[in-house]
Amino acid sequence: MEQTWRWFGPEDAIRLPHITQAGASGIVTALHHIPYGVEWTVEEIEKRKAEIAADPALGLRWSVVESLPVHESIKIGEGDLEPLFENYRRSMRNLAACGITNICYNFMPVLDWTRTDLAAPVPGGGRSLRFNAHEYAAFDCFILERPGAENDHAPEVMARARAWFEKASESDKAKLLGNIMAGLPGAFDRYDAPGLRRMLDRYRDIDRNRLRENLARFLREVIPTAEEVGITMAIHPDDPPRPLLGLPRIVSTEDDLAFIVGAVDSPANGLTFCTGSLGAGQTNDVPAMARRFARHVHFAHLRNVRKDPDGSFEEAAHLGGDVDMVSVVTTLLQEQKRRRDAGQERWRIPFRPDHGHELLDDIGKKTHPGYPMIGRLRGLAEIRGVMTAVSSLQGLPL
């Protein structure tokens, strides 16, 4: 499996030599400065490639695009979408012309990953990302004041949410909004509470089936181009895998993944298998999902979570949460062997250590939430150890 690392470009506090020191060789990045829906030109792509390859001794290459974002209008299905589809196809062609052929994207409405606490304490003084169900309910019901929101939360969660809100200062409320808006680092849009209400209103007629239809339309529009230019598309699961703020989520369960790979039957239409996102689902059997959909996995995010009965969860150590990481890694290595034995040229599955704890000198540095250096370095080292052991025991190619 190709060891990769998410890098947010020249402004990232983590530098390219640090990534080489961590043992990764593939860079996962995007052109975050380009607004959603605007074509990525060859010039901009080559500029980023040149930044990554500026020091050949580092041995780094741009391996995966994360993300080529899908414009919100495509998710909603509103207006004349052909210019947006065409810009997306042009960006795909330009990436392929520059030798970058693996695209991770998501179809989460409005928000990407969502947490309520970006610095939850872990034993020994580290910090992790956490989703507290009662704080999310307090935001939904009492800060955002979404009509009918109380019906979406369990009574015991609502009681804790009300107690939190009654004690919260204005600073506490602003911090919670900021944490929820942190989302995917590099996301182009941020909202205050009124702006978020307006954005949610655009989705008032979008239910689960309608959102599925809009995703299927997107796939029909772009997968033929992917096949034409040799690109693989890898959709990222919802994070967390449940409806949020009244918005439907359609990349959350085994049934959802089956729908997606069946919507357009093509080797180019595949998955980013994120063990943390899927692992936050109370009923998801992540190792079983890995086995079922292994042939469709074009990219993997390997991280772990520890869940609470009320729907809260926190980022755990990469080998320390609810997900059986050894089982998932074994499945991916077995799939690699199948691809190699079948003569596939691109048989290695790129993966990256996803969200890590802030540890040691990470604490206080201006890194993106969830993306510190040392926490991910630890995660990559742990996963590399699992890979090496499984490969040795089962005779599987790394």
Residue 33 is among the residues annotated as catalytic for this protein:
no
- What angle in degrees, to the nearest 10, is found between the helix axes of 286-293 and 254-263? 20
The sheet carrying 117-122 orders its strands as: 117-122, 126-131, 313-316, 304-307
- The number of beta carbons lying within 10 Å of the beta carbon of residue 70 is 21
Crossing angle between the packed helical segments 208-229 and 254-263, to the nearest 10 degrees: 50
Catalytic-labelled residue, pool 12, 117, 256, 354: 354
What CA–CA distance (Å, rounded) separates 263 from 178?
A: 36
pLDDT of residue 188 exceeding 60, the answer is no
Q: Which of 191-195, 227-231, 297-301, 335-339 has the lowest mean pLDDT?
A: 191-195
Tokens of 391: 């490969």
Residues 2-57 pLDDT 10s: 999 999 999 999 999 999 999 999 999 999 999 999 999 999 999 999 999 999 99
Catalytic option among 104, 141, 274, 298: 274
Pairing type for strands 313-316 and 126-131 reads antiparallel
Mean confidence (pLDDT) of the chain? 96
In this prediction, residues 117-140 reach a mean pLDDT of 96
Name, in order, each residue with C-beta under 8 angstroms of 44's C-beta and a sequence gap of 6 or more.
31, 34
**pLDDT band at residue 186 using 50, 70 and 90 as cut-offs:** low
* pLDDT at 387 > cutoff 90: yes
Above pLDDT 70, what percent of the chain? 98
* Position 190 pLDDT exceeds 70: no
What confidence category does residue 185 fall into, taking pLDDT thresholds of 50, 70 and 90? low
Is 368 noted as a catalytic residue in this protein?
no
* Average pLDDT of span 194-207: 92
Residue 146 has pLDDT above 60, yes or no: yes
Q: What is the pLDDT of residue 192?
A: 82
pLDDT at 103 over 70: yes
pLDDT recorded at residue 183: 72
Write down the catalytic residue from 71, 236, 296, 357: 236
pTM: 0.96
Distances (CA, A) of 341 to 337, 347, 350: 6, 9, 18
- pLDDT at 236 > cutoff 60: yes
What is the band of 108 on the pLDDT scale with cuts at 50, 70, 90? very high
Q: Is 236 a catalytic residue?
A: yes
Cβ neighbours, 10 Å, residue 226: 24
The two three-digit tokens of residue 390, written as one number: 């499984």
Q: Which fold has domain 2-114+200-394?
A: TIM Barrel (3.20.20)
Task: Measure CA of the first residue to CA of the last residue in the chain; give whole Å.
Answer: 5
Q: Band of the pLDDT at 256, cuts 50, 70, 90? A: very high
Residue 371 appears among annotated catalytic residues: yes
Question: How does residue 189 score in pLDDT terms, banded at 50, 70 and 90?
Answer: low
Is 187 a residue whose pLDDT tops 60? no
- Residue 301 among the catalytic residues: yes
Which residue in the list 88, 136, 203, 371 is annotated as catalytic? 371
Rounded CA-CA distance 169/171 in Å is 5
- Reported confidence tier of residue 191, pLDDT bands at 50, 70, 90: confident
Choosing from 298, 301, 318, 357, the catalytic residue is 301
**Of residues 67 and 228, more confidently modeled:** 228
Mean predicted confidence (pLDDT) in 97-123? 95
pLDDT of residue 270: 98
Between CA 279 and CA 287 the distance in angstroms is 10
287-320 pLDDT, tens digit per residue, is: 999 999 999 999 999 999 999 999 999 999 999 9
Give me the pLDDT at residue 181, please: 87
- Check if the beta carbon of residue 21 is closer than 8 Å to that of residue 73: no
Which pLDDT score is estimated for 227? 98
